[in-house]
Every structure is written in C-alpha cells, then in structure tokens.
Structure 1
Amino acid sequence: MNTCLVYFDETGDDGANTLSSNQFVLTSIYMQTDTWQENFNKIRNCRKELKDRFGFHISEEIHTKHLVRDKGFYRSYGWTDQQRRDILIAFTKCIASLDLKIINVIIDKTKIRTEDYCVLEKALTYNIQRIDNDSHGQWNYLAITDKGRLAPMRKTARAIRAYNPVQSHFGGYTNQPIKGMVEDIMEKDSAESYFVQICDFVSYFVDLYYRSVDKKEALPIRVSRVIDTDFIRSVMATLKQGNTLNLKASSSHHPYGFVVYPK
C-alpha cells in the first residue's frame, strides 16, 4: 500500500467567538511519498528564483500574512508593493505546478449557535474525513502540523479512529472510523517546512477569498493597499488550473471546493 504525507496549517483563531476572527480556515495538502522529492525540488528552485530576483533568503520562512502586510523581518528588505505582489505570484505558480492535492475547511464562526462548538476539532475532523474518502482505501497517510495546536489535534485524530459519525443519505448517522491515518499527528516548525508554509499561504488566500468574494466583506486596509479582490481571485484560479484543489471535497459544489461549516 502506498503512503501519503499530509501537512496542515491554519488562518484565524480557533476560539468559538468572533473577537479575533469571523472564520477559521484549516488547510491540508497531501502527496504520495514518491512525489515528495520532486515537489521539494520545485519549491527549492522557486526559492532560488526569489533569492535572485528579490534577495529573499532561501532559509527564511514565507509567512504570507506578514509578507502581505510588510511586518516583521520582511520590512528590512524594503520591497515595493509590486515586488511583494510579484513574490506572491511566483509562489502561487510554484504551488500550482506541484503534484499534490489541497483541502480547505472553513468554520464560519458567525454561524455557530451553540456554546460548546469545538472549532479546531470540527475543522480537523471534516478535513481528515475528506482525505480518508479520497484514499478509497488505496493508500494510508501520515499527518504533520505546525507547532502550537498539536495536543488537541492528536486527541481529535485518535478519537475519530474509533468513532466518526457520518450523516447517512437515508437519515441519521453511521459510524465510519478513520482507517487510513498512520501514527499520531506529528509536529514540525513551519520555518523548517516548505509544505507547512504552502498550507499557510493557501489558507490565508482562502480566508481572503471567503471574506471578500463569498461574503462580500471589505478587505483589511493594510491588505487592500497591496492586493485587491481581483488578485485574490487570480490566486485561487491559478491553483484550480494547476489541478491542485480537491474540488470533490465540497458537497455544495463550491467553485474552489471549500468545505464550509456550520451549514
């Protein structure tokens, strides 16, 4: 049986209230282990190109939110808004060229009606369910996440191995335990993983798309000074054209496969 590697990262706060964010986005990317090295090489070549064009050090992390807002160490580069857009475009094209799949789960916290709604648990469960469904029992997978939320994610993953209620087409729920996950979810610092950084990039743009296109909300001011809704649409369209998005993940036929809960 073949094995996949799965990486997770998120955008937004996983608290059930909307004080910090109105939604929580959990993105996963997954690939067969025999494609990992080729994917890694492509990202490495992209980073070398960014080093040549913009002086962006290969060893430094792409943290998309900070890059767009020109925060932290990014300010020391003195990039113009156009240069930052060019970096985003180059990285988008790189991701679209990779041999992997992406699933995006959005928990819209404005729709939560119960005080005991566990945002991270729900997002991870819905994400793993779709990875497991996509495997059709033909491959298993090992999951890796960024630092910070390991304990609750491990607890959730362990639980759905035994009990994973899925709504039946005939009414009610059936228990369909997760079978494909190997070992506990493991942790890796995003600064040391190109693939976790890709999850961060995609989840950030999914969050912006959901805000500005699906919900027709204004972009944050510091974001709108650099990119607009057309730019965000272009990023998502490029990822779709690269056949990286798992469009079957969404039962609501969202054009980019977003899985949105609560219903």
Structure 2
Amino acid sequence: MYLVYVDESGDTGVTNSPTRYFILSALIIHENNWNRFIDDLVDFRRNLRDRYKFKMREEIHAAEFFQSSKKYDHIDKHIKLQICKKTLDFQKSLDYIQVMFIVIDKATFTGDVFETAWKYLIQRIHNTLDNNNFRVINNSSKDENNDNFILIPDKTDDKKLTQLVRKLRRYNPIPSRFGNGYLNLPLTLIVEDPYTKDSMNSYIHQLVDVNAYFMKQSLDPTAYMKRKKAHNFIKRLENIRCTHISKEKNGILMVK
C-alpha cells in the first residue's frame, strides 16, 4: 500500500483571485517504510528543536512563517527560512520517498480548478503505480502490481474530493489513441475515501506544506524570497521527484 500525503497552495478561484497558481504537492511512501519514515522524521524534529529551539509541538507552516502572523513572531525570519531549507534537505536525504506537483496556471485556465488538479494527481499516482514506476521506493519483494494507494490530504473540500474519487473508480474517460472517442479506464488501485488530516497534527503534512510553498515561490516569488535566492529552494528536491508524470520529466505537471 502506498500512502499519498497531499497539501494545497493557493485558492481555486479564477476571478479576482489573489493567487495565480493552484498547486497540489504530494509525498508518496510505501507502507513498508512508514515506521522508518516516522523515526527519521522525529529525529529531524529533535534536531530542529536542539539547533533552533523550534518546539516539537510547533507546526511548520511556511506561508504563516513569512506572512504577518504573530504566531511565529518569536522566531527570527532568517531562522524560519533555515528551518524550511533544512526541511527540504531532510526529504532530499531519503531514498524511500518521492514527491510530485500538479500546478494549475489560473491566468489561462478556465475549467474547474479543484477538480482538474485533483483528477490529474489521482490519475498520475494511479498510472505511475500501474506501470511499476514507484518500485524504487518499495523495499518489498512482492509484485508492485498487487499494491494500492490511499489519499491522505490536509483539510480541503472533503465532500467534493470524496465525490471525485468515487466517480473515478467507476468512470475515468481517456481519449483513445486509435481514433475518435474515449475509453473508460476506471481507477481501480485507489482504496477507500480520502482520509483527511489536520497538518497541525501531522509531521508529514508539514513537509508537504513546505514543498507546496516553495513550488509556488519558484513560480511567483516574493521580494524577500527572491532576495535570499530562496525561490530556487525547490530544486533541492530534484533527486526525489517522480519524473514519470509529465513529458518534461521534472516531477511537475503544469496545466494551463
């Protein structure tokens, strides 16, 4: 079983929206490596505590780190940036996880932003698994084709996402490669409804939050991020990106 942790960046509005991009950031891990991941993650948080006095119970929330939130006023801005950098480097050091990104450019996109982004993510996860392309992060000896996956998103539009997942299990029309028309290829490898969690209570979702934030900064950086060259931080994850989801082989599916 593959566990797919997901976080969103930006909003889904297309009219008078403050954000140009809607981003889904996903982290994928196999159940066989989950306990190891948690042990490594707890050790990482202890290192943050010891080095930066960032408490174990505090949430790493990148957007709030760099906005006018008083929640993190006790932490210097450059320390918050270092915490995010270390968070990316921690993930980079792990050979048993992969990440991917779905990016909707709302400047040119006119469809349903939420449904399109989530549909593409679910399809890419399903196809990657169906083609045995997650095998590099699965230390099991069994055939990967026997595996399934479950979505574990941060809080979102739970009802709409659940409806989409249930629909794709039954109806997933794909343009035919052999002419006009569509083929119905139901997504049979996703199990259960999405299991949403609050990132406040999930160290893993806090990693995915940082990834989503710095993907956004790579596309539309703030003046501070550009000055600190932090708009390039997302490149630190290049070695763990799932390169099978787009023709560009960069772990990013850009939808315009």
TM-score by length of 2: 0.87
For structure 1, the residue ranges without an aligned partner over 5 or more in a row are: 212-218
1:118 matched to 2:112: yes
Could you report, residue by residue, the CA deviation over 1:231-260 in whole angstroms, capped at 9, with x for unpaired residues? 222x2222113xx21111112x15x32111
Alignment root-mean-square deviation, CA: 1.8
CA contact (8 A) 1:5 1:30 kept: yes
Matched residues, number: 240
Q: Is the Cα contact below 8 Å between 2:217 and 2:225 reproduced in 1?
A: no
The aligned amino acid for 1:163 is Y
Moved more, 151-160 or 12-21: 12-21
Structure 2 equivalent of residue 88 of structure 1? 84
Task: Kindly report which structure 2 residues correspond to 1:1-263, keeping only aligned pairs within 5 A, or say none.
Answer: 3-69=1-67, 71-77=69-75, 79=76, 81-98=77-94, 99-113=96-110, 117-136=111-130, 137-172=145-180, 173-211=182-220, 219-220=221-222, 224-226=223-225, 228=227, 230-233=229-232, 235-241=233-239, 244-251=240-247, 253=248, 256-262=250-256
Alpha-carbon separation, structure 2, partners of 1:153 and 1:107: 17
The gaps in structure 2 that reach 5 residues or longer are 131-144
Task: Return closer, same or farther for 1:257/1:170 CA change in 2, 3 Å cut-off.
Answer: farther
Aligned residue identity for 1:101: Q
Name the stretch that deviates more: 137-146 or 7-16.
Answer: 137-146
Is this contact kept in 1: 2:22–2:103, CA < 8 A? yes
1:44–1:70: structure 2 CA closer, same or farther, 3 Å change rule? farther
Q: Describe the SS at the equivalent of 2:229.
A: helix
The percentage of counterpart residues that share the same residue type is 28
1:138 Cα deviation after fit: 3.8
